[in-house]
Amino acid sequence: MAAQASFDITSPIDFQEVDNALNQARKEVGQRYDFKGAKAEIDLNATEKTLTLTADDEMKMNALWEVVQTRLVRRNVPVKNFEVGKSEAAAGSTVKRVIKIQEGIPIEAAKEIVKFLKDKKVKKVQGSIQGDQVRVTSPSKDDLQEAMQVLREHDFGVALSFGNYR
């Protein structure tokens, strides 16, 4: 029997890079003219995987999120993995927005990836869900390359990273 080749699909978040990007965003907000005298806070809770933004009003909130997104992109952190919630009123006539950080592939997206591979009928390629990642196996490495290409072209709602290729 031929040896099976495989690779893993994951969706990692480097929290050190997120922290660095947020520090840069805080610095930029402190220097921007439109934020002078305004309340603008960025808080990261790495254990709960949430990012909390606080600003004076909705306009400043959108500007703050724009600054944070720009810094995250520059540090190669996938912004797709940030689930932006609605702004809600907070104490002191401010608005607060809680953003969930998705690390790993959620089960719904993993099922969608496996189903997508079956529907595309890439030769002898099989996907299996293993916790918060998906392992794709095939007897042929060429078929795995084709599967990677097909997966890159489709949007699953999270950033996909291919690793552990053997």
Ramachandran bin of 70, using left for φ above 0, alpha for ψ from -120 to 50, beta for the remaining angles: alpha
CATH number of 15-101: 3.30.70.990
* Contact between 83 and 99 (Cβ < 8 Å): yes
DSSP the chain: -PPPEEEEEE----HHHHHHHHHHHHHHHHH-GGGTTS-EEEEEETTTTEEEEEESSHHHHHHHHHHHHHHHHHTT--GGGEEE---EEETTTEEEEEEEE--S--HHHHHHHHHHHHHHT-TT-EEEEETTEEEEEES-HHHHHHHHHHHHHS--SS--EEE---
Check for a shared fold between 5-12+105-163 and 15-101. yes
Residues in a beta bridge with 111: none
pLDDT of residue 2: 56
CATH class of the domain whose range is 5-12+105-163: alpha beta
Q: What is the pLDDT of residue 27?
A: 94
Chunked into runs of 10 residues, the chain (166 residues) has average pLDDT values of 78 91 93 88 92 92 93 92 89 89 89 86 83 87 86 86 82
- Residue ranges covered by each domain of the chain: 5-12+105-163, 15-101
Q: Report the distance separating Cα 38 and Cα 32, nearest Å.
A: 10
User: Do the Cβ atoms of 134 and 127 come closer than 8 Å?
Assistant: yes
Longest dimension (CA), the chain: 70
- Please name which of 11, 21, 15, 12 lies closest in space to residue 74, comparing C-alpha atoms: 21
